[in-house]
Structure formats: C-alpha cells, structure tokens
Amino acid sequence: MRTMTAKAAESAKAQAGPGASGSPATGPAGRRGGSKSMGVQNLAGWLFSTPFLVLFLVFMAFPILATLAMSFTDFGLRTVTHPLDANFIGFENYVNLFSDEKFLKSLFNTAYFVVVGVPLTIFLGLVVAVLLNNGIDRARTFFRVGFYTPVVTTIVAVAVVWRFVLDPSDGLVAGLFSEVGLTSPDFLGSETLAMPSMIAMAVWRNLGTVMVLFIAGLQAIPTEVREAARLDGAGAWQEFKGITVPLLRPTLLYATVITTIGYLNVFEEPFVMTQGGPSDSTLTVSLNMYREGFNFFHMGYASAMAYVLFVVIMGITVLQLRLLKDNTK
Amino acid sequence: MSATSAPGAVSTAPSKQPGNTPPSRVKKARNPKRVLVYVLLSVGLLIMSAPFLWMALSAFKTPQELTASPPVWIPTEWTLENFRDLLDKLDLPLYFMNSVIVAMLVTASNLVFCSMLGYALAKLNFAGRNKIFGLVLGALMVPGNLMLLPLFVLMSKLHLIDSYAGLVLPFAAGAFGVFLMRQFMQSIPDELLEAARMDGAGEWYIFWRIVMPLVKPALATLSIFTFLGSWNNFVWPLIATNDPDKYTLPVALATFATDPNKAGGSNGMLMAGSLLVVLPVVILFIALQRHFTQGIATAGMK
C-alpha cells in the first residue's frame, strides 16, 4: 500500500513538474496542493471505479473462472441447483472432446467459416472503402450509410430474411435463377452449399464494419504524402501499392483481428437459418456448445468446449498480431 | 480490381488531347473514372439492399404471391394480412416493450458507470489506475460465450431468470464504453479541472457538472451503440428467459421462426415480423449515422 501511494505521488510530481517550474515561488504551494489533491484523487479514483469493478467481478471475472472450474467437472442438470455437488473429473471432458466427431466437425465448420469468410469480408470492405474515397464526394454519405446498414440490423431478423431469400421455390435468388431459365439449388438444404450461403450472408452483413474502419484509415493518410508521390510520377496503382497499403497496415490488422474473433464465435446465423443442419454441415462450435449446455445440460462438457474455443481465439489473435507486425518491418 | 484498371485509362486520356486547357483536361480525364466508380458502387448498393427490399415487399404480398413460382417481385395487391396474422399469433407489442425497457436500462447504466470509470482513468491520478485500465482492455478481448454457462447458473441461483434484472445486469457496464469515454475525456484540458479544484469543487461535481456536459457527443455515440447492441442481442436473452412473456423481440422472432409448427407456410408473417424488428433500428441508425462512424473511428484508432 505504501509503495503504491509513493509511486503515485511520484507520478503526480512528474505531472506537476512543468507547470510548477515556471517560478520558484509557486513551487512549494503547487506541491502541497498536489499532494493534498493526490489523496482526494486516490479515493475518488477508487470510488469512481467501484460500480464497474463490482459488475465486472460478479458478471465477468467470476463466470470466466467458473467456466474453467466447471470444465473439469461433470456439471449437469442436477448441479444447476446444487453447484457444489459436481464431481471433479480432471481432464476427462477435454480428452472426450477430441474423440467426439460432432465436436471435431463443428471445429472444422467454424474454421471453414473463418478461412473463407474473413478474407472475403476484408477484401470487399477495402474495395468499397477505396471506391468511396476516390472520386466520390457527392452521395458519399448515401453510399456509406447503404453499405453500413446491414451491420446495425438485428441478426435474427436478417437471418430469417436470408432464409427466405435463399428459398429454392419462392425466394429472391430462385427468382433470379428462373429469369435465366434455371432452377435454383436448395442452398440451405444442401450439405455443400449451406455453409457457403451462410458465409455470403456474413460477408454481406459485416463488410460495412470493415469499410468504415478502412475509410477512417484512408482519411488519416496525409494528403502531402500522396501529392509527393504523384509529383514523383507515381501512377494510381503505384500510389495504392506503395503508399496506401503500407499506411493502412494498422487498420488492416485491427479489421482482421476483430472480424476473425467475430466469425470464430458465429452462432445466430446457423441457429436461425439451418439449426446446424443439414447433417451437422453448419454446426459451429458456439452452436454445439449452446446445445450441449442448454439443451442437454452437459454443462461441464460445454464449458470445456468454451475454453477450447477461447484458446483457439487467443492463439489466432496472437498469431495474427505477430504475422502482420512482422510484415510492417 | 476494376478500381485499378480505371486510373490507367485516366492517364492516357489527356495526352491524346493536347489542345485542351489544363482545367478542362482534368475534368475530362476524371469523368470516365468517376462514372465507373459510381456504377460499381451502385451495383454494390443494389446487392446490399436487395434482401431488405425483398423483405419489405414480401411483407405485403398475398399468400398466393408469396408462394408463386417463379416468384413475384412486386405485389400486385398490397395487403396487411401478414401483419394482422402475425399480431394474432405473437404479442409483438409486449416483446417490443421488453426490448425497449431492457435496452433503456442497459444504456442508462452504461452511460453513468462507463463515464465514471472513463473519467477516473483519463483524469484522476490514483494508485492502481494502470491495472484497472489493463482489466478493461482485457475485458474487451474476452468472447461472451465464455461466460454463458456459469452466468446462467448464477442467475438461476439469484432467481433472476425471466426478470429484467437478469437481462440487464450482465451488460450494465461494458469495457467498450469505458474505453470510448476515456478516449474522449482525455482531450479535456487538465487546466480546466485544476481551476475547478482550486475553486474548491469536489470530484463528483467536476465529473457531473463540468466533464459530462463537455462529452455530450461521446455520450450520444455511446447511447446509440449500447442501445442497438442491447436491441440486437440474442444469445443471452435466449438463455435468460423461459417465460414467453419475458422474451425480447429477437428471441420471440427466432422462437417463432424455428418452431416447425408455426413456421410452415408463414413466410409472409416472418417477413412482416422481420420488418417490424429491423425498421426501428434502421431508422435510428440513418437518423444518427454521424455518431456511428465517429465512434467506430475512435475505437479503431487505439
């Protein structure tokens, strides 16, 4: 406690330094005022933090640790009312997971969703952002709002709409097929087409987020840099490759990481559109976890799933941060 | 790809017309590129809005037109039948009110609690500040799925399943809000707060009377994000409600849409329902879209 306050007082002194150095007369007074307000600020700081910290501890920190604890137990329906009755079973849940074909399939499906969906979302988001940033000044807001609207819509409602859009007999896409004299495939009823359809919907819904990030990134590039390149005779493509892309790296990194995290957690789309079918071809890890936990009440097992997913997410995030940071050097 | 082919045409165009004066040259050179950009964006926008248009049009179609093959694009006779049938089966006003109440409570508590911590992190020198900020950043990265199972057990033990408190409490103060408020509050000059302290103002007074009015744009951004986040939230309300009377709109719609007994042949009702769920959100967004891009840009530029 003592060392902590001493450290804080030091940093306060350092902060007060430049202001107090003006004249020696204000020195002592400033320091005294500083140390007095220091005590007040210490108390105030903690009081202002308390509501958040209480909510954080009860509804976030505790559940995160509890999930970990539960994943080593046979926590089930009966133990919901008597949590302490759960039996410790070591790594059994984790071991079982990796011989559980359903889980492995859900892991594969989630990977499929991420590996195809993330690059598509980033690429299309970047294309739209570059188009909006080049040669468009009228109607810019109009287009930006149009491309961003799917992001804010309720995903359940949108998934319901897409289910109907893709309906092979009377949907929008079926209509397009019949215009050119073809019959529409049953997108969501086919094991091979269900996941690509879901990816299409995810890209449609999320490219607006990426677009807005890229627009902010593009506008942060100083115009002098562009003008200098142009004076040196750089064409638009050279300018894009040599200036825009390198300077957009931090945005690209951020957009890739948040899109990947979002896609690894994909839940609502399969829940509403396919319920994981046909024959588990769209069963994602999150949907699998929800079912094991809340339909079958295998909560210990589902907790282990949640932690495997969490470790995967952390691993991929760290990997992406490394890879993209190395590239900038 | 097409964006890159366009500039090539631009650079060759002016050189073939040496007689032109510089300004008109620039104008002529830019036009084909601009037209192409507009065409590409318009096509993209059409694809983006097609599902919405299909939803809105289908909500007003008759059963015959809904199931017609090949599909009918625009209803010939507009009908409100789908909305009437839907309201007969689903108590939408109730779910609407549940969603509104939960979203308003979540928004109000986030505005107060996130601002408080944001102020402490941005403007108060106190021991442990960096550790708390570390917690906030860490909390930003934890996926929500990791908390669902024990949260459900906890809420069952507290008898908060099927209650507004159960729906609101886990979202009462989010790390994103703290981060956003801290970013905005850092730009307030320290001298202003020091002057107030010299005049004997307490920290609560400074926070409530000086800082909060100065960050109104940030508060607006945070309210919209939080309100829409809560409105669109699905997983937790799905878990935390068993009693249909406590369903929020998305849960009610999903339950209706995935129930094989009700969903059969009711695409019109589902489109009407989706329209009613999505429309308030879209209107709110379009009216306040300026705050959105501001918030995303701020959060993105760590």
The whole-angstrom distance between A71's CA and the closest CA on chain B is 10
Supply the pLDDT for residue A327.
59
| Alpha-carbon span A58 to A70, nearest angstrom | 16
Mean pLDDT of the B49-57 span? 93
pTM above 0.90, yes or no: no
Of B126, B146, B157, the CB nearest to A42: B126
Do B45 and A146 lie within an 8 Å CB cutoff?
yes
Q: Is the pLDDT of residue B302 over 60?
A: no
Q: How many CB pairs under 8 A join A and B?
A: 320
Higher pLDDT, A6 or A225: A225
Residues 35-54 of B with CB under 8 A from A: 37-38, 40-41, 44-45, 47-52, 54
Mean pLDDT of the B37-48 span? 92
Q: Is the pLDDT of residue A250 over 80?
A: yes
| Alpha-carbon span A274 to B31, nearest angstrom | 46
| Alpha-carbon span A305 to A328, nearest angstrom | 35
The mean pLDDT of chain A is: 84
Supply the pLDDT for residue B96.
94
| Alpha-carbon span A52 to B135, nearest angstrom | 11
Supply the pLDDT for residue B300.
52
Whether A199 and A116 have beta carbons less than 8 Å apart is answered as yes
Q: Which of B34, B42, B53, B145 to mutate to test the interface with A (most CBs of A within 10 A)?
A: B145
Q: Is the pLDDT of residue B74 over 90?
A: no
The whole-angstrom distance between A79's CA and the closest CA on chain B is 9
Residue A302: pLDDT band by 50, 70, 90 thresholds?
A: very high
Supply the pLDDT for residue A17.
38
| Alpha-carbon span A290 to B15, nearest angstrom | 64
Q: Is the pLDDT of residue A121 over 90?
A: yes
Residues of A in contact with B296 (CB under 8 A): 209, 212-213, 216
The whole-angstrom distance between B19's CA and the closest CA on chain A is 22
Q: How far is CA A17 from the centre of its chain?
A: 41
H or E segment to which residue A96 belongs: helix A92-97
Contact of B158 with chain A, judged by CB distance below 8 Å, is answered with no
Whether A186 and B88 have beta carbons less than 8 Å apart is answered as no
Contact of B90 with chain A, judged by CB distance below 8 Å, is answered with no
Q: How far is CA B221 from CA A137, A208, B177, B215, in A?
A: 25, 18, 10, 10
Residue B55: pLDDT band by 50, 70, 90 thresholds?
A: very high
- C-alpha dihedral over B112, B113, B115, B121, to 10 degrees? 160
Burial bucket for residue A229 (CB in 10 Å: 0-12, 13-18, 19+): middle
| Alpha-carbon span B253 to B243, nearest angstrom | 14
Chain B's closest residue to A300, CA to CA, is B149
| Alpha-carbon span B9 to B4, nearest angstrom | 10
Supply the pLDDT for residue A277.
80
Q: Tell me the DSSP string of B140-181.
A: HHS-GGGGHHHHHHHHHHTT-TTSHHHHHGGGSS-HHHHHHH
Whether B176 and B263 have beta carbons less than 8 Å apart is answered as no
Q: Assign A159 to helix, strand or coil.
A: helix
Residues of B in contact with A143 (CB under 8 A): 41, 45
Residues of B in contact with A51 (CB under 8 A): 112-113, 116-117, 173
